[in-house]
Amino acid sequence: MSERSEPAGVPGSGLVKGLAVTLKTMTKRSTTQQYPDVAPELPPRSRGVIALLEENCTVCMLCSRECPDWCIYIDSHKEEVAVPGAARPRQRNVLDRFDIDFSLCMYCGICIEVCPFDALYWSPEFEYAEYDIKDLLHDKEHLGEWMATVPPPPAHDPNGEPAKEETAAARKAAIPAAPAARPTAPPVRPEPAPGGTGEPGDGEGASE
């Protein structure tokens, strides 16, 4: 079998091409962001860290059960609340511990999606590195501080599909309220004539 021989190129042609690329790049304006002196502009849906709104948490444990990494730890206790007018006091769950181990978290967002009371949010905050891996276990106080960095929800697209709540409210407002039913008066019976029995035909004008 005959070996194919590559044609010999001009010596130094590769070096010239590489220097041409370098020269072309040097003439362009640099777009490098000088982090950390200049804060980066993150997309609005960036997944930085999970923030907790403790007032909305009802300790339903859905986020902890659905977490594929089991990195959410929740403890709570019950206390009685006196309700005016109720026969007996009611019980409610009080959150004692809500920790997330970010050394195990894979930022899938399942805990935020399954939360039925909007207690968990995505925050674009990403500067929470630690020297010790044990310090990546953040408690509810630290998670609550990140709520200040949660951006407001984006405005609704006017060309998009309206929310179910808006559709239900519009449908309810379009239905006219049914008028209240008036009480019907009982039928009036005729007064009996004097000397009669009250039956039709009785009275003074009745023939004998």
CATH number at residue 120: 3.30.70.3270
Flag whether 63 is marked binding. Answer: yes
Query: Cα dihedral sign for 144, 150, 152, 158?
Result: negative
Place of tokens 């379009």: 174
Residue 182: CA count within 13 A, CB half-sphere: 3
d(CA 49, CA 128): 9
Domain assignment present for 172: no
Flag whether 67 is marked binding. Answer: yes
Q: Edge to edge, what strands does the sheet with 90-101 contain?
A: 72-81, 90-101, 137-138
Q: b or e along 83-118 (b: 16 or more beta carbons within 10 Å of the residue's beta carbon)?
A: eeeeeeeeeeeebeebbbbbeebeeeeebbeebeee
Flag whether 71 is marked binding. Answer: no
Domain assignment present for 194: no
Domain assignment present for 15: no
Domain that holds residue 107: 49-150
* Stated pTM of the model: 0.60
Domain assignment present for 24: no
Count: domains in the chain: 1
Structure tokens belonging to residue 51:
């923030």
d(CA 59, CA 72): 12
**Tens digits of pLDDT across the chain (208 residues):** 445 555 556 788 888 888 998 888 888 887 788 888 888 888 877 888 999 999 999 999 999 999 999 999 999 999 888 878 778 888 889 999 999 999 999 999 999 999 999 999 999 998 888 999 999 999 999 999 999 999 887 777 778 787 787 888 888 888 876 565 666 666 667 666 666 555 555 555 444 4
